[in-house]
A = this chain, B = another copy of it.
Amino acid sequence: MKKLMVIKIGGNIIDDETKLSLFLHDFSSINEKKILVHGGGKLATRIAVQLGIEQQMIDGRRITDGETLKIVTMVYAGYINKNIVAALQKNGCNAIGITGADGDAITAHKRIKGDTDYGFAGDIDAVNTKFIDHLLSENNDIVVAPITHNKKGQLLNTNADTIAQEIATAMSAVYEVTLVYGFEKAGVLMDADKDDTVIPVIDPALYMKLKAENVIFAGMIPKLDNAFSAINKGVNKVIIGKAENIAELIEGKKGTTIRK
């Protein structure tokens, strides 16, 4: 089976010019076909403040009103996405940047949960594997901004972690997929304060044990639940660690590998 890497990076890389540049250099050196999903970073918030648009957060999610959607579309799909693509092109990586609207890549619907109005936030319905496979087959690597659409003309702000997971899961039908979550720590840690206590491999049995022993708790639980969910839906393995170490993460020399 053909191999595919789906790699997600967040604000800790996007907001740091030097780290981002080094990461994109290393990303370009990966031989397999690859998809980079990027989050937002602080620029959207900074521009919203400069334009006098108030930002509302509920449970760590930005409430996307019309003006906020405009800003995230500009910053994520415009500034961040195109600068990443240009940097990859410089490194000889023939990238193409997309949102979920482009080629109808990712359809979503407006999030509705009880009484909370999340505004123009999208929950994913479908990933267009044919379109994505088609770009990959033409040797284009893909850079995905966290914006989707509802096929009725509405763009929707969508969580980048979820986009990475949904793409990885959907593409598992035709590829052997490795999903890499870049985050601020070196991996899943035995001691949350010590970056040198990375647990190299976690399978379901170990996960149960670590949860029972309270080694894994709080914010790591949904992250790992998502990782196992991706694996149960066909993703070959999930790697969690610092995107700065992307080469070592893929080789299994750093970070935590989640597998069946």
Contact = CB atoms under 8 A, between A and B. Distances in A.
Interface stretch (A151-159, A172-180, A209-217, A250-258): A151-159
Most buried by B among A79, A97, A140, A147: A79
A75 interface: yes
Nearest to A84: B101
A90 B152 contact: yes
Interface string A133-158: 01000101000000101011111000
Nearest to A87: B153
Contacts of A77: 77-79, 81-82
Interface in A60-74: 70, 73-74
Nearest to A51: B50
A149 B103 contact: no
Query: Which 6 A-B pairs rank lowest in CB-CB distance, beginning with the nearest?
Result: A78-B78, A90-B153, A74-B74, A74-B78, A77-B78, A96-B102
A162 interface: no
A50 to B, nearest CB: 5
A245 interface: no
A140 B78 contact: no
A89 B153 contact: yes
Interface of A: 47, 50-51, 70, 73-79, 81-83, 85-87, 89-90, 94-99, 101-104, 131, 134, 138, 140, 147, 149, 151-155
19 contacts: A47-B51, A51-B51, A73-B83, A74-B74, A74-B79, A76-B78, A77-B82, A82-B99, A82-B155, A85-B149, A89-B149, A89-B153, A90-B152, A90-B153, A94-B104, A95-B102, A96-B98, A97-B98, A134-B138
A108 to B, nearest CB: 11
Contacts of A134: 138
Nearest to A92: B151
A90 B86 CA distance: 29
Given A78-B74, A155-B83, A103 B99 contact: no
A196 B87 CA distance: 50
